[in-house]
Amino acid sequence: MRGIYPRIIASLFILTAIILLSSCGGGKQLTAPGVQRVVLPEINFSVTLPPGAGIDPADVSYERLTLEEALSGGRAPSDLPDDFRAVEAFVIRPEDAVFDLPARIRLVPEEELPEGTRLFLFRVGASRRCVPIDDGYIREDGSVSFDTHVFGFFIVAENTLIARPSDAFLCYGFADVGDGPIPLTVNFRVFSFGGSEPIEYIWDFDDGSGSIIGSNVTHTFYEIGEYEVSVHGEDATGAVSPGFSTIIEATSEYLPLESVSVFVFPTEASAPLERHFIPVLEGGVPPLTWEWEFSNGYTTDERDPVYEFPEAGIYSGSVRVTDAVLDQVSSDFVADLRHVYLSADPNFGYAPMSVTFAVSAEGLSPDATVVLDYGDGERVTVDLAGEPLFVHHYDLAGTYPARVEAFEMFDGSPRYVYSLVMNIVVVEGPIPIIYSIFPPQAALGETVTVYGVDFGFIQSEGETVTFAPGIQGEVLEWHDTYIDVVVPDGAVDGDVFVTRVDQGTSYESDRTFFNVVEPGQEKQPPAITLMSPSRGPVGTVVTILGMNFGPTQLAGDRVSIGFQHLIIHSWQEDTIEAEIPQFAESGDIVVMHDGMTSNGWRFDVGNFLIDDPPVVTSVDPVSGARGDVVLINGDNFGGYVPGSVAFLGAIPMGVISWVENQILVVVPEKGNDGDIRVFHHGALSNGVPFVVRPNAPNLYGLEQL
C-alpha cells in the first residue's frame, strides 16, 4: 500500500538540563579554581512561611549560588545521588531556621522545562551530601513548589532516568487521498503524542512550493509525479519530533479503488472514551460513499468520524467504501478503550523504602490477566476482584519504573494494555557519621558534645544518642554537625552512637568509644579516639590519638594487637607512635597504661594499597579566636568526601572549602590549644600547633559607665 505507514526520518531531540555545580579541583586559590563571576538573571522566587514560624517575612532572603559563592558560603560542590543532575542552586536565609510545619518554596528554574517535568529538592548538609527534601512538577506557568521544614543551602535537581514530557514527542501525518489525477487536491492533518503546547507543525510537499505551518492543511499538486510529503513538529520547549513522510501520487487519470485502511487515534485526554477514525484510501473515483458499522450497533456515513463510546472496553467494526464507478473495498478495525491505572505511596524516599501500590482498571474482561511490574525485576499477578493493594520493599537506591500490564484474547488475537509508568525514586538514607566526642571522658550527669555530620537539623521523634549498655542520654541541643547530650545514669565505658529518623526509617551512625569517669576514681583508663592508618603490612607505623596514655611510658605500659606487642617509637599523654610487629595478625589494637587497658581499635594486617597520607606544611594564621578562618596548606588532601575531617586537638573544625593542597576551616567554639591535623581516606596527617586566643570582649554599653 502506498502512503499508509509512517516513516521516521529524523532523530528524537532531547533537552538536557544545565549543571550549575561541578567538582572541585586542585589549585592555590581559596575559592574554586577557574571559576569566573557571572551575572545571574532574575528568578521568580517566593517563600510562604507556616503559621507560628516565629520569623518576620522581611528577614527571609534568597540567593542563587555560583560554585564560587557556594564555597565562600561554607558549602563545597555537593554529591547528588546517581542519576541526578543539578538545575538550580540557592540558599535561603536565615540558615538555622527550623519549622514544625513546612514552609513552601516556589521558584521558576532558569532553564525552561516542559510542563509536567518532575524535579527534586535536596538540602546540602554539612557533609556536602545532598539530603532529599521534596519533589514537585513544573506547572503550566513554569513554576515548581517544594515544602521544607528547614532553610539553608539547596539544590533543585532532575532525575535523568525519568523522561520529560517532551521526550516522547512524535508526529503522525495523514492524507485523505493517496493518489488521483491532476490537479490533485489533498487534505492533510497531523496527530501528535507528547510535546509541550503550543506546537508548530511544518509541512513540506516536495514540489518546490515551500513549507506551510498548521495541524490541518490543504495542498494541490499540478504536475504528474510522486511527491514525498513530510511533516515534523516543534514544541514550546524547542523539542523537535521525528519527521513523518508519505507518498502522494499525482496521475493523469483516476486509479482503480484497491483498498482502505483505518487508523484509530485518541483525541483528548479529557475525553478518554472518544476516538477519531482516519481512513486512508488507495485509488478510487470520487464521489465516495462511506458505511461505518461498530460492534455496539453504532453506524455513520461520515468520511472520518469521531465517536464517543458508551463505556470502556474493546470494540470491533468495519468500514465499506464505494466509489463513483461502484467499485467497493472494505476493512475491519479494532478500537481498544480499556484503561489500567497505577498509583504509589510514597514514590520518593530513602532506602530501604516500602511502597504501597494501588491498581484499578476499566473495560477489562473477567478473564483478563493483570500483572504489576515493580520495575526491579519482580512482578505480581493482580486479582482485581480482591483487594488490589500491594506493598513492595526496595532495599537499594535507584529509579524503578513500575507499570501494570493487562492481557486478554479478543476475536482470536492477543490484546495488551498498559498503565502509565510510575517512577519510584529511592535514594541512599542520610546515615549520620560521628567524628569525635569531646570531652572523650566525663562523669555521669555531665554534658559532652558529639561531633559529626548528617545528624539532622532538628531532633525528631525516635532520634537519640545512646550510651553503653544501651541507655539514651538527655539531649540539650541537636544540630546537623553537633549534639550536646548529658551522660545518663547507668552509662558505662563503651560505644556511643546516634540514631537519626527520616521518613519513618531509622539510621544508626558509626560507634565511638566513650569513657565514663566513676565517682572518686582518680586514675582513668587510657582511651583511643583515633588511629591512623587502620590497615597495612607488618612494619607499618601507626599514630594513636587519645587520652590518659601518661606523659611517659611506664614499666609494663605497652601497645598490643592480639598477643603481639607493637614496637614503640614515641609515647606522649595524647599521642603514641608504634610499629606493627612481625607475625602480627589482624585484630584490635589496645593501649595498656598503669595497669589499665583502653578500648580497642581494629587494624587489618596485610599487603594493602595505601594512599599517601595527607601532609600539613603550614597553617595561616597560627593563632586565632573561636570562629576565625584558618587556611591549612599541604599535600595529599584529595577531594572532600564524607569522613574527611580537620581536627584541632580532638575537635573537628568546620570546613569551608577542601581541595588537593588547601583546606579552609573555622576555629571551633569548643576545645583549646592543640595540633591541627587532617584526616582523609583513613590516614592522619602530622600535626601543626595552633593557639586559641580569647575572643575580643563585648564593649557594648561601655559609654554608659
The domain spans of the chain are 45-159, 166-253, 339-427, 433-517, 527-605, 615-693
Which among 87-101, 489-503, 597-611 has the top mean pLDDT? Answer: 489-503
> Averaged over 334-346, what is the pLDDT?
93
Whether pLDDT at 74 is above 80: no
Q: What is the pLDDT of residue 38?
A: 41
Contact 123, 98 (CB under 8 A): no
Q: How confident is the model at residue 77 (pLDDT cuts 50, 70, 90)?
A: low
Which among 14-23, 74-83, 680-689 has the top mean pLDDT? Answer: 680-689
> Averaged over 54-67, what is the pLDDT?
85
Whether pLDDT at 307 is above 70: yes
- Burial class of residue 61 (count of CB atoms within 10 Å of its CB; 0-12, 13-18, 19+): exposed
Q: What is the pLDDT of residue 330?
A: 96
Q: How confident is the model at residue 388 (pLDDT cuts 50, 70, 90)?
A: confident
Q: What is the pLDDT of residue 479?
A: 86
> Averaged over 454-472, what is the pLDDT?
91
Whether pLDDT at 1 is above 80: no
Whether pLDDT at 607 is above 90: no
Contact 12, 244 (CB under 8 A): no
Distance CA 166, CA 15 (A): 9
Closest by CA to 690, choosing from 676, 670, 671, 704, is 676
Q: How confident is the model at residue 37 (pLDDT cuts 50, 70, 90)?
A: very low
Domain 527-605: state its class: mainly beta
Distance CA 678, CA 613 (A): 9
Sign of CA dihedral 384, 387, 392, 398: positive
Closest by CA to 492, choosing from 526, 515, 525, 458, is 515
For the CA atoms of 298, 302, 308, 310, the dihedral, rounded to the nearest 10 degrees, stands at: -10
Q: What is the pLDDT of residue 67?
A: 66
Q: What is the pLDDT of residue 209?
A: 92
Q: What is the pLDDT of residue 72?
A: 62
Beta bridge partners of 262: 279
> Averaged over 555-576, what is the pLDDT?
93
Between residues 69 and 456, the one the model is more confident about: 456
Sign of CA dihedral 417, 419, 174, 295: positive
> Averaged over 224-246, what is the pLDDT?
88
Q: Which positions ≥6 away from 211 have C-beta within 8 Å?
A: 202, 203, 204
Between residues 33 and 171, the one the model is more confident about: 171
Q: What is the pLDDT of residue 438?
A: 86
Element (H, E) at 69: helix 67-72
> Which architecture characterizes domain 339-427 according to CATH?
Sandwich (2.60)
Contact 531, 603 (CB under 8 A): yes
Contact 72, 46 (CB under 8 A): no
Buried b (16+ CB within 10 A) or exposed e, 585-598: eebebbbbbeeeeb
Contact 254, 285 (CB under 8 A): yes
Lowest mean pLDDT among 88-102, 318-332, 471-485: 88-102
Distance CA 519, CA 659 (A): 46
Q: How confident is the model at residue 401 (pLDDT cuts 50, 70, 90)?
A: very high
CA atoms within a 13 Å half-sphere pointing along the CA-CB vector of 268: 4
> Can you name the CATH fold of 166-253?
Immunoglobulin-like (2.60.40)
Q: What is the pLDDT of residue 71?
A: 63
Q: What is the pLDDT of residue 471?
A: 96
Whether pLDDT at 9 is above 80: no
Distance CA 92, CA 212 (A): 49
Whether pLDDT at 375 is above 90: yes
Lowest mean pLDDT among 314-328, 403-417, 684-698: 684-698
> Can you name the CATH fold of 45-159?
Chondroitinase Ac; Chain A, domain 3 (2.60.220)
What are φ and ψ of residue 18, in 5° steps?
Answer: -85, 130
Helices (H) and strands (E) in the chain, counts: 1, 62
Distance CA 427, CA 189 (A): 45
> Averaged over 1-29, what is the pLDDT?
26
Q: What is the pLDDT of residue 268?
A: 64
CA angle 585–586–592, rounded 5-degree value: 90
Mean pLDDT score across all residues of the chain: 85
> Averaged over 111-120, what is the pLDDT?
88
> Can you name the CATH fold of 433-517?
Immunoglobulin-like (2.60.40)
Lowest mean pLDDT among 31-35, 267-271, 607-611: 31-35
Q: How confident is the model at residue 622 (pLDDT cuts 50, 70, 90)?
A: very high
The share of the chain scoring above pLDDT 70, in percent, equals: 89
Element (H, E) at 314: strand 314-322
Ramachandran category for residue 3: left, alpha or beta (phi over 0 → left; psi -120 to 50 → alpha):
left
Q: How confident is the model at residue 191 (pLDDT cuts 50, 70, 90)?
A: confident
Whether pLDDT at 5 is above 50: no
Domain 615-693: state its class: mainly beta
> Averaged over 582-606, what is the pLDDT?
92
Whether pLDDT at 440 is above 90: no
Distance CA 172, CA 280 (A): 13
Between residues 95 and 270, the one the model is more confident about: 95
Identical fold between 45-159 and 166-253: no
